[in-house]
Chains A and B, each alone.
Chain A
Amino acid sequence: MVKILLCCSAGMSTSMVVQRMQKAATQLGLEAKIDAVGMEEFNEKIAEYDCCLLGPQIKYKLADFERQAQEYHKPVTVINTMDYGMLNGEKILKSALALIDANKGA
């Protein structure tokens, strides 16, 4: 079971991405818990997930969030702009899985 956290300004547009990712996960036969939150909730949620993907509109938060996530050894990254705009759930999901794998290896 993988647990992926998505985060944007209010958790609205990322929640559309979550739906697409959830669908892609089902197609891959993958058990996944994917949630979207607003950025004020990042701090209290990150510990429960394997990684966090940020909406590109809050990429300026990356350094700040990375520092907070380091405490729990969780990787944080920004979603590719085009994939985000096209709500490409499958590609975003795969990049998240790759991120989690890379983190495990480290």
Chain B
Amino acid sequence: MSTLADSLFGVIENRISPIAARLSSQRHVVAIKDGFIASMPFLIVGSFMLLFSHPPFSQDSQWGFAQWWLGMVKQYNDQLMMPYNMTMGIMAVFITGAIAYNLAQSYKLNGLMAALLSLMTFLVVAAPEKDGALSVASLGGEGIFSAILISLYCTEVMHWLVKYNIGFKLPEQVPPKIRQSFDLLIPIMVIFLTLYPLNLFMESHFGLLIPQAIMSVFAPIISAADSLPAVLIAVLLCHLLWFAGIHGAAIVGGILQAFWLSNLGLNQEALNAGQDIPKIFIEPFWQFFITVGGSGATMGLVILYLRSRSAHLRAIGRLGFVPGMFNINEPIIFGSPVVMNPLLFIPFITTPLINAVIAWTATRTNLINHVISLAPWTTPGPIGAAWSTGWDWRAVVLVAFLICLSTLIYYPFFKLYERQLLAQEEEMAQEQLAEEMK
């Protein structure tokens, strides 16, 4: 058993971790992730407004409060939906600018200029003007993958031109601000010369905009990423990394974010159109069901620690309980420690996998609502689950059930570990006693 465990830990430490570390330090991956992070506040507020515009009551509810809310939403629908339309509805616009900014910063280029260049390019390919209006159809979830590709392309063009010193050379006496704006002339021209013909070609031959074409290329991957096996693989990878002491959620989540946001966009469109909600795997689903209390679904473990007979575990329980309610569990992971601890390996990996299967099945069979909104990841589990499913009380019940279940799964392993620690604590106490007796 121990040699098997050792070789397994060896593989995680020596093979998986370095790859993950390299991947998550890779310039473009970092820029994409930071771009998503920067866009998040807009998306959270926007999706909150969507929820507000879709009260969780049936149309013929007799309750006064519900009737008032429903009536108000009906009357002021356009006004209430405006914050949603200008954030979630055009999220690819924010993402394009934010990714380009971050990538440019990492190349020590002018971030603002890169962001503006990418924004222009994105609008050219995703929302060409027609009859005095820009169409927003491709600026939401459908535009995410285009946003990523376009912002990377534009910034790389800038970088390439700077590297080979191609551009207008204005004399030194010209103020820097003015020189900056001239710096962009060539990149803009290059972008128009390369992308715009492609755009026109796509439109005249296939009747498609570039974002729609990109989406149809990505469609099989997107739908595969929303399957239970994909969820389980992602959860497993994340927790193997955490077990090696690496922030698995930041790495796996960073890569999944594009899929999560595109799924969220599809769900919200369906909600708005009054259709069945199609997608399951979105960040809150991961955050509030699979890893309630933080990676490893450690809420159950903290509860066990609180009443442990081991002084060390009790101390960790006290330190970790409140942060754990907000899904922060570094004290548990590093203090227990869970990291590289063979006794806690099995429950740390299996609990989130079991949670994933249960929550997935519950969503699929409509026992709980699908995720249709974003809540900040630090929202306490039950509240976050209710919030992101459109105030579904059944989601709260499910989270409570999953916490109890995780307590049960952790219990036998916790007991083993506790016994080991108690023996150590006992030994130390006796040594101390012997010291004093001398």
Contact = CB atoms under 8 A, between A and B. Distances in A.
Q: Do A and B come from one complex?
A: yes
Interface of A: 8-10, 12-13, 16, 38, 40, 43, 55-61, 64, 81-82, 84-87
A56 B25 contact: no
A6 to B, nearest CB: 12
30 contacts: A8-B247, A9-B249, A12-B378, A13-B328, A16-B328, A40-B30, A40-B33, A40-B102, A57-B242, A57-B247, A57-B250, A57-B333, A58-B246, A58-B250, A60-B17, A60-B20, A60-B24, A60-B25, A81-B337, A81-B339, A84-B330, A84-B334, A85-B332, A85-B336, A85-B337, A86-B315, A86-B316, A86-B335, A87-B331, A87-B335
Contact of B246 (A38, A40, A60, A85): A60
B83 interface: no
B37 interface: yes
Contact of B334 (A10, A43, A58, A81): A81
A83 B36 CA distance: 32
Interface of B is mostly: helix
B245 interface: yes
Nearest to B327: A12
A10 B253 CA distance: 13
Contact of A59 (B105, B245, B378): B245
B323 interface: yes
A57 B337 CA distance: 13
B319 interface: yes
Contacts of A12: 328, 378
Interface of B: 17-18, 20-21, 24-25, 30, 33-34, 37, 102, 105, 242, 245-247, 249-250, 315-316, 319, 323, 328, 330-337, 339, 378
A82 B340 CA distance: 12
Given A57-B246, A59-B246, A82 B37 contact: no
A71 to B, nearest CB: 11
B102 A85 contact: no
A56 B335 contact: no
Nearest to B312: A86
Nearest to B334: A85
B167 to A, nearest CB: 25
A59 B104 CA distance: 25
Of B315, B328, B330, B337, chain A has the most CB atoms within 10 Å of the CB of B330
Given A40-B30, A59-B246, A87-B331, 20 more contacts: A8-B247, A9-B250, A13-B323, A13-B330, A43-B105, A55-B247, A56-B245, A56-B334, A57-B242, A57-B245, A60-B24, A60-B246, A61-B25, A81-B337, A81-B339, A84-B334, A85-B331, A85-B334, A86-B331, A87-B319
